Amino acid sequence: MKREVKNCIFAEIEMNSLAYALLAMVARKDCSGYELVQLLELFWQAKHSQVYPLLAKLEQKQYVAHRLVKQNGRPDKKIYRLTEQGREILSAWIHEEPAVPVVRDEFLTKIYAIWLTSTKRARELLHERIQYFTDMLTDRLLKIREMEERWSDDLYDPHSPQFGRYMILQRKTRLEQEEINWCHWVLERLKKD
């Protein structure tokens, strides 16, 4: 959990956390850039404007390669796959210490300063937050069920490509549930007012 080693021998130049995240995803399953953005949302929010150019760079370095898939009534897509070289640097990178997690959450700043205004606004913020996480959670549980139906036992096999994503989904639901619990706990403290 140390800071990231820059210019490490495996990467030559400019391999960052997002680049590795993309490699990790195409390792599990061939993906288009568009799909990657959506899959990434689970633990790394990136915009397409960041992902597309990065994929091109990763292809230049031959860590990924794409094939064009033509579609009817839809734009064509580039389906990326991990190359042998890509797999190698990914495996090497896993043995480095991960960078410290970063969280930035404006909601918390508002809670920090809530004493300046009304408890009514506090309640509002908390209810919106509960709504937000409930929606997230509902969606998340749906995705968990989808994975369970599709892969069943594989999900508990640490050698299956699905293992990691499934574990991370489980983690997210736990944390989201705990966020909701905390909101209710705070609302209780606001009742007396």
Partner DNA sequence: ATTGCCATGTAACAAGTTACATGATTGT
Partner DNA sequence: ACAATCATGTAACTTGTTACATGGCAAT
Select from 5, 164, 187, 18 the least CA-distant residue to 95: 5
Site string for a copy of itself, 86-115 (x = CB under 8 A): -x--xx-xxx-xxxxxxxxxxxxxxxxxxx
137 lies in the binding site for a copy of itself (CB under 8 A): no
Contact of 65 with 75, CB cutoff 8 Å: no
Query: Torsion-angle region of residue 161: left (phi > 0), alpha (psi -120 to 50) or beta?
Result: alpha
Out of 10, 30, 44, 57, point to the residue binding a copy of itself (CB under 8 A).
44
Span near DNA by CB under 7 A; candidates 72-80, 111-119, 124-132, 171-179: 72-80
Select from 10, 2, 1, 7 the least CA-distant residue to 93: 10
- Going by the DSSP 8-state scheme, the letter that residue 116 receives in this structure is G
Tell me how far apart the alpha carbons of residues 74 and 55 are, in angstroms, rounded to a whole number: 21
Residue 179 C-beta: closest distance to DNA, Å: 20
84 lies in the binding site for a copy of itself (CB under 8 A): no
Residue 76 C-beta: closest distance to a copy of itself, Å: 27
Angle, vertex CA 74, rays to CA 68 and CA 79, nearest 5: 25
- Going by the DSSP 8-state scheme, the letter that residue 98 receives in this structure is P
Cα distances (angstroms) measured from residue 38 to each of 22, 25, 43, 46, 163:
11, 11, 10, 9, 18
189 lies in the binding site for DNA (CB under 7 A): no
Smaller CB distance to DNA: residue 45 or 159?
A: 45
Q: Which residues bind DNA (CB under 7 A)?
A: 3-4, 6, 14, 16-18, 32-35, 38, 45-50, 52-53, 55-56, 71, 73-78, 102, 104
Q: Which residues bind a copy of itself (CB under 8 A)?
A: 1, 4, 17, 20-21, 23-25, 27-28, 43-45, 87, 90-91, 93-95, 97-117, 119, 121-122, 125, 128-129, 132, 156, 158-161, 163-165, 167-168, 170-171, 174-175, 178-179, 181-182, 185-186, 189-190, 193
